[in-house]
Amino acid sequence: MSQVQQLQLPVLDLSQLSGSAAQQQQFFAQLRAAARDVGFFYLVGHGISESRQTQILQLAREFFALPASAKQQIQMIHSPHFRGYTGVAGELTLGQPDQREQFDIMREDVATGLPTVKEPWRRLIGPNQWPAAMPQLKTELLSWQQQLSDLTETLLSAFMQALELPADALQSTIADGPYQHMKLIRYPGQSAGDSKQGVGAHKDPGYLTLVLQGEQSGLEVLTDDGWVSAEPLPGSFVVNIGELLELASNGYLKATLHRVVSPKAGIERFSCAFFMAAQLDATVPLLKLPPHLAQEAKGPASDPLNPLFYQVGDNVLKGRLRSHKDVAASHYADLADLAVAS
């Protein structure tokens, strides 16, 4: 692992959005700078209590402390919708196994019907799996997921205003509700010979990600000054921008490489990550920024013909097939070409 710099990511206070016009403009200026220069920041003043955050992390600890048999009953391989439990080394990043165990949920839905080749991404839609040993988990996590989804919608609107666009510039892409994906995650301490890859270096594919961290560090962000440790900041969420939002903003909003390094032996790291994106059937517009902001963009200009703009569902599915080879083999054998292409 390369040397990690001891620098702090920007800290933004969302409560400024409810303040005076001057406070709002100050927030938008800070948001533009953080999003353009780093692509990562801490968010405080978001209205979600620290006690609620602590409660969710405690639920994570309780879930991962369940007997292996209880977790295996809801293994992701049982779900064609990529929901459920994945053990250590069960997910791949850049083709390498991540040293973490996790529990994935998405929006609770009814499966839309038989497999389809025309729109294979529709197979992602369906119910979550829930552990019988923790009956309270369904209510608590679905409520929490919706809280985070509402918060990301507020942030998405703020990003549009910061870019001097209508607040609802991307509303058509989430009109039926944004794509929701959430993980409870446990990173075990390194054992002799283990890889340090809690999660390999990657960019998130969607619009926005919120990460709730426990007390143990490990999340690292690649900046112009090298890798920076995103040390836990009590009460905050770590926010980062996904590739789809970078694409829509024509390179102004920055999707940034990040990774998680496994904790040392005898130490566990717990976190909760929430990923928000356009709904799976959306067509994402290429936003037209005011000239003075367009000149400030540091990222690559977007090709309006890029299929990422209109193949949202297919690209989400490709990402899941790439990360979970066992689920792909079990439920998507008829899409072998898509799985290989991903």
Three-state secondary structure readout of 98-139: CCCEEEEEECCCCCCCCCCCCCHHHHHCCCCCCCCCCCHHHH
Beta partners for residue 96, in sequence order:
93
- How large a percentage of the chain has pLDDT more than 70? 94
243, 208 Cβ separation under 8 angstroms: no
Q: How many CB atoms lie within 10 A of CB 263?
A: 19
Q: What is the mean pLDDT of residues 34-56?
A: 97
- Domain locations in the chain? 4-341
Looking at 265-308, which runs of residues are DSSP E strands?
269-277
Beta partners for residue 255, in sequence order:
241
Mean pLDDT of the chain: 93
**Residue 247 backbone class (left: φ over 0; alpha: ψ -120 to 50; beta: rest):** alpha
- CA angle at residue 123 from 117 to 125, to 5 degrees? 145
For the cut 50, the answer to whether the pLDDT of residue 341 exceeds it is: no
Pick from 313, 318, 307: nearest CA to 342: 318
Task: Give pLDDT, residue 6.
Answer: 57
Rounding to the nearest 10 degrees, give the CA dihedral for residues 165, 167, 169, 171.
170
Q: What is the mean pLDDT of residues 52-78?
A: 98
Alpha helices in the chain (DSSP H): 21-37, 50-64, 68-72, 136-162, 243-248, 291-294, 312-323, 325-331, 336-341
17-31, 228-242, 296-310, range with the lowest pLDDT: 296-310
Task: Give pLDDT, residue 210.
Answer: 98
Q: Residue 181 corresponds to which tokens in the numbers above?
A: 């994906």
Pick from 148, 162, 315: nearest CA to 253: 162
Task: Give pLDDT, residue 195.
Answer: 76
CATH number for the region 4-341 comes to 2.60.120.330
For the cut 70, the answer to whether the pLDDT of residue 2 exceeds it is: no
Q: What is the mean pLDDT of residues 211-223?
A: 96
75-84, 136-145, 184-193, 278-287, range with the lowest pLDDT: 184-193
For the cut 50, the answer to whether the pLDDT of residue 342 exceeds it is: no
Q: What is the mean pLDDT of residues 97-105?
A: 96
For the cut 80, the answer to whether the pLDDT of residue 5 exceeds it is: no
Q: How confident is the model at residue 70 (pLDDT cuts 50, 70, 90)?
A: very high
Q: Residue 275 corresponds to which tokens in the numbers above?
A: 């990923």
Cα–Cα distance measured from residue 110 to residue 214, given in angstroms and rounded to the nearest whole number: 33
